[in-house]
Amino acid sequence: MFLGIDAGTRFTKAVLWNGEISRFAVKETVGNMKSVLESITKEIEDYKLCCATGSGAELVEFADAREDDVVCLAIAGRDVVNADYVIDIGAQSITAISVDEDGNVIDYVKNDKCASGSGKFLEVMSSALGIEIQDLDNLAFRSNKKLSITSQCAVFAESEVISYVNNGESRENIIAAVCDAVAKIAASQVNKLKITGRYTITGGVANFTSITERIKRIIGGDYVKFPNPQLAAAIGAGIVAGEL
């Protein structure tokens, strides 16, 4: 058994990997990373080697190796669903990755200087509407009117959302417009790589069907669903640990 840890900006994910997920844990990333990691290792024990990835990988002091998250996502995308491209929508960024037959990164693009279209973007919009982010799908699927969010900046997009609220538009229609905006932002990243093969969508935002369905409609092509998309980078790290 091999342990993969993805120490992300919003959540820290851990996967015990042996060709498949044996156990996993997801904890909110807080100021005291040591306590988060202690909690995770209490839930997941009896591993042989550990690889850490993500923005907080250096804080995983007991890791036997550390690997870049783009590399881990590429490995997971190829090994788990045989994808040629991975679209990762995380808490702070969107990354589009082109992967070769062996799981190596051919090319990638990342909007890491702006949270546009990321999980944080969704959290800000949901807060402005006074809804829980987990209710996003239920509300978006009840939309009956087409609205649009024109700004990719979270600050300006929030102003648009508030204007819609003040004009009496329903939360369902507004959140559907937010989902449209996220899908367009993600698709614009992917289009830079000119997708020609199978692609998958990973990251916590991939759990929202209202967003993944919109991305698929824009991109088209050969989509394959990634199981447990929030765990993708941790799975990739687990695979790396198994190859040490």
**Which residue type does 177 have?**
A
- In this prediction, residue 188 has a pLDDT band, given cuts at 50, 70 and 90, of confident
Residue 65's beta-bridge partner residues?
51
Q: Can you name the CATH fold of 1-81+230-244? A: Nucleotidyltransferase; domain 5 (3.30.420)
Task: Please give the share of the chain, as a percent, with pLDDT higher than 70.
Answer: 98
| Span 132-187, pLDDT tens digits | 989 999 999 999 999 999 887 777 888 999 999 999 999 999 999 999 999 998 88
Task: Please state which of the four CATH numbers 1.10.10.10, 3.20.20.105, 3.30.420.40, 3.40.50.300 is assigned to the domain occupying 84-225.
Answer: 3.30.420.40
**Whole-number pLDDT of residue 92:** 83
**Whole-number pLDDT of residue 31:** 77
**Whole-number pLDDT of residue 114:** 65
| Span 22-48, pLDDT tens digits | 999 999 988 788 889 988 888 888 899
- In this prediction, residue 235 has a pLDDT band, given cuts at 50, 70 and 90, of very high
Q: Which of 212, 139, 207 is nearest to 173 (CA)?
A: 139
Domain ranges of the chain: 1-81+230-244, 84-225
Determine the Cα–Cα distance for residues 182 and 68; give it in Å rounded to an integer: 25
Determine the Cα–Cα distance for residues 196 and 84; give it in Å rounded to an integer: 8
Cβ 149 vs Cβ 160: under 8 Å? yes
Q: pTM of the full predicted structure?
A: 0.92
| Mean pLDDT score across all residues of the chain | 91
105-110 and 94-99 beta bridge pairing: antiparallel
Evaluate whether 1-81+230-244 and 84-225 have a shared fold.
yes
- In this prediction, residue 70 has a pLDDT band, given cuts at 50, 70 and 90, of very high
Residues 6+ apart with CB under 8 A from 179: 136, 140, 208, 210, 211, 214
| Span 99-122, pLDDT tens digits | 999 999 999 998 765 666 788 888
65-66 and 94-99 beta bridge pairing: unpaired
Phi, psi of 75 (to 5 degrees): -65, -45
